[in-house]
Amino acid sequence: MQRYFNTEGSCDPKKHYMVNLEKRLELIKNRYVERGSYFVINRGRQYGKTTTLKALADYLTTEYIVVSMDFQMLSAKNFEDESMFSKAFARMFITPFYTARIENTEELLKQLSDFIQREQNLSLDELFLCLSKVCSMAPRPVVLLIDEA
């Protein structure tokens, strides 16, 4: 297949012409990820935000547990109240641990599963406490990437 300029979504360097992201990914890792900092990629449409996040997830995968979320995957109902959002967020957060078969995460998964199964209303502070506990128990540092495009 011949490579082409993609203007319709995330790019794949095997299929599309694109800028080499290696130096940019290394800079993001050194300047933000390794320091435990938050950062935002904020540009207009078709500037490569999602492509950069996907490449960053691949780049970090050997040293970190990368949890990638796309808020477009949540329904409007999940945003109706704090409890619904907290449970939906926890469900999205837990998925990579299952799909990547991350080592020694049984207790971690139990913590999140128990949180999701609770009947009562759950607040964001309860979600963050649970996520903090999960991250502290994880076998590698956890990086959360959120694409809200």
Give the tokens for residue 103: 């080592």
Model pTM score = 0.83
pLDDT of residue 106: 78
Task: For residue 73, give every residue at least 6 positions away whose Cβ sits within 8 Å of its Cβ, in sequence order, or none.
Answer: 92
Q: What is the mean pLDDT of the chain?
A: 87
Q: Would you give the distance in Å from CA 83 to the centre of its chain? A: 20
First to last CA, the chain: 29
pLDDT tens for residues 61-96?
A: 999 999 999 888 889 999 999 999 998 999 888 887
Lowest mean pLDDT, pick from 8-12, 50-54, 77-81, 144-148? 8-12
Q: 127-135: long-range contacts (C-beta < 8 A, 24 or more apart)?
A: 127/86, 127/89, 127/90, 130/90, 131/90, 131/93, 134/93, 134/108
Q: Give me the mean pLDDT over the 115-139 stretch.
A: 87
Task: Return the HEC string of 80-145.
Answer: CCHHHHHHHHHHHHHHHHHHCCCCCCHHHHHHHHHHHHCCCCCCHHHHHHHHHHHHHHCCCCEEEE
For the chain, give every domain's residue range.
1-60, 65-149
pLDDT of residue 149: 59
